[in-house]
């Protein structure tokens, strides 16, 4: 009897917390909540988006109150938080468009944030880094072919015009980065976190790099990259290795790193930038393209770090700059891409949804819900929170980059012309 009474009290308390949190968060749009007991509550101004959710059990309601950042994704993935009207992105819009979150002011939330900061102090050594990379990037390669562009660019695209397709925007991203790198014919380039090889192949084919070395910790990506280099006839100029960047030897005219720094981990920033400085020639240029945050330093969403990107952290400039300065590198340019990743993720999410039945053949319903949640959470972070993309240009000397930024547009125009003379090796879609 006491257990039943205690469960009832907890259920009532969690219901009150949910009502208070949703009342505070949902200002525009409509959210209808049905509790596990069948009680209905409505929040918002009656407008759009119009979303209806239902909890399947009392424990789900309590879990959301105790650890909302983790449990929202878990409950949705497990089917214990059912969205009966609308979708997961619409729910996140209601919760985030006017506030950063519905549960941010709870005392337990602040305690969790402190605990999470402590976990960020652990370093991502080579073994842990490889394990973390394999968790996400060594999934069935057919999965990524279903929602990425034909070049398998798995990072923020650059929408240089509003009506650009995903393929065009990803091409513009490579062009934009190559222009900032100031690659000249014959230059040696190191690509840290080389993915499926698209960036390295572009730098050789369009920008004229003399040699490109791409390093990755993903065996799946390595195999694809090597096949692409061979098929393009660039096997001698573009080499891909299964190698931790900290083990890389030599010196390079240019270093590029796209979508990798997010996996380095806060405790390893000094080591990362010291290593880059050691590998960069005195007259060299580096371009770092990374997701980051424009607000105060804050732990990355725990659901994302547990299920999607273990070991990840989204840096602020205030976290990156001290490590850059200590390494003896000079910041020569910073560009902040706002909303570009939201549009990229929207395209990925729509393609994923269009190919959902094919994903089901590779995995299962739970996996589909988990990835729908991942893509929606990520898009919402760029639309309604403080997530952005930093492009940080680095050098050892202040005279290796032109004094004005005019060179970027000039080099982009030259690269666009070079692209028309070269034929990229595309990846075929398969399921």
Give the other-Cβ count within 10 Å of 91's Cβ.
Answer: 24
Beta bridge partners of 288: 257, 392
Phi and psi torsions of 280, nearest 5°: -90, 130
Question: pLDDT class for 249, splitting at 50, 70, 90?
Answer: very high
- How far apart CA 312 and CA 173 sit, in angstroms, is 23
420 pLDDT band, cuts 50/70/90, is confident
Q: What is the pLDDT of residue 300?
A: 87
Question: Which domains, ranges and CATH numbers included, belong to the chain?
Answer: 2-119 (3.30.1050), 126-421 (3.40.50.150)
* CA angle in degrees (0–180, nearest 5) for 314-151-418: 110
Distance CA 52, CA 32 (A): 5
Structure tokens at 364: 């299962």
- Report how far apart the first and last C-alpha atoms of the chain are (Å, whole number): 54
H or E element at residue 425: none
Give yes or no for residue 106 having a pLDDT over 80. no
Give the model confidence (pLDDT) of 164-185 as tens digits.
999 999 999 999 999 999 999 9
- How confident is the model at residue 53, as a pLDDT? 98
| Contact between 148 and 169 (Cβ < 8 Å) | no
Question: 């790099």: which residue's tokens?
Answer: 209
Question: What average pLDDT does this structure show over 281-293?
Answer: 98
pLDDT single digits (tens) 84-105: 999 999 999 999 998 765 555 5
Check: CB of residue 352 under 8 Å from CB of residue 147.
yes
- Strand-by-strand arrangement of the 330-337 sheet: 238-242, 211-216, 188-192, 252-258, 280-293, 387-395, 330-337
CA distances from 198 to 100, 154, 181, 191, 329 (A): 35, 10, 16, 10, 27
Cα-atom radius of gyration of the chain, to the nearest Å? 23
Residues 6+ away with beta carbon under 8 Å from 229? 197, 200, 201, 235, 238, 239, 240
pTM of the model: 0.90
| Chain segment 360-389, per-residue pLDDT in tens | 999 999 999 999 999 999 999 999 999 999
């Amino acid at each position: 009897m006491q257990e039943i009474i205690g469960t009832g009290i907890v259920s009532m308390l969690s219901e009150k917390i949910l009502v208070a949190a949703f009342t505070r968060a949902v200002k525009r749009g409509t959210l209808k909540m049905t509790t596990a007991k069948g009680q209905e509550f409505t929040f918002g101004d009656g407008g759009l988006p119009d979303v209806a959710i239902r909890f399947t059990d009392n424990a789900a309601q309590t879990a959301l109150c105790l650890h909302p950042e983790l449990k929202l994704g878990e409950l949705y993935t497990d089917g214990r938080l059912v969205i009966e009207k609308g979708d997961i992105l619409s729910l996140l819009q209601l919760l985030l468009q006017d506030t950063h979150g519905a549960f941010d002011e709870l005392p337990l939330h602040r305690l969790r944030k402190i605990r999470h900061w402590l976990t960020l102090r652990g370093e991502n050594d080579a073994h842990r880094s490889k394990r973390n990379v394999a968790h996400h990037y060594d999934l069935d390669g057919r999965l990524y072919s279903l929602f990425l562009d034909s070049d398998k660019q798995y990072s923020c695209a650059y929408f240089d015009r509003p009506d650009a397709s995903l393929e065009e925007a990803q091409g513009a991203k490579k062009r934009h980065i190559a222009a900032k790198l100031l690659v000249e014919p014959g230059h040696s380039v190191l690509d840290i976190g080389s993915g499926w090889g698209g960036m390295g192949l572009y730098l050789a084919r369009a920008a004229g790099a003399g040699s490109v070395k791409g390093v990755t910790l993903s065996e799946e990506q390595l195999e694809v990259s090597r096949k692409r280099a061979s098929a393009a006839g660039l096997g001698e100029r573009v080499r891909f290795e299964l190698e931790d960047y900290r083990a890389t030897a030599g010196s390079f005219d240019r270093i590029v790193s796209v979508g990798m720094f997010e996996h380095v981990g806060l405790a390893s920033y000094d080591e990362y930038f010291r290593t880059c400085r050691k590998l960069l020639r005195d007259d060299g240029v580096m371009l770092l393209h990374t997701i980051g945050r424009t607000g105060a330093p804050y732990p990355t969403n725990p659901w994302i770090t547990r299920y999607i990107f273990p070991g990840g952290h989204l840096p602020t400039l205030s976290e990156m700059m001290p490590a850059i300065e200590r390494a003896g590198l000079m910041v020569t340019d910073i560009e902040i891409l706002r909303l570009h990743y939201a549009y990229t993720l929207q395209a990925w999410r729509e393609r994923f949804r269009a190919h959902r039945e094919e994903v089901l053949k590779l995995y299962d319903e739970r996996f589909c819900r988990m990835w729908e949640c991942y893509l929606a959470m990520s898009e919402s972070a760029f639309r309604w929170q403080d997530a952005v993309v930093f492009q940080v240009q680095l050098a050892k000397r202040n005279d290796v980059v032109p004094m004005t930024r005019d060179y970027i547009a000039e080099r982009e125009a030259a690269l666009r012309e070079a692209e028309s003379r070269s034929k990229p090796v595309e990846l075929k879609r398969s399921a």
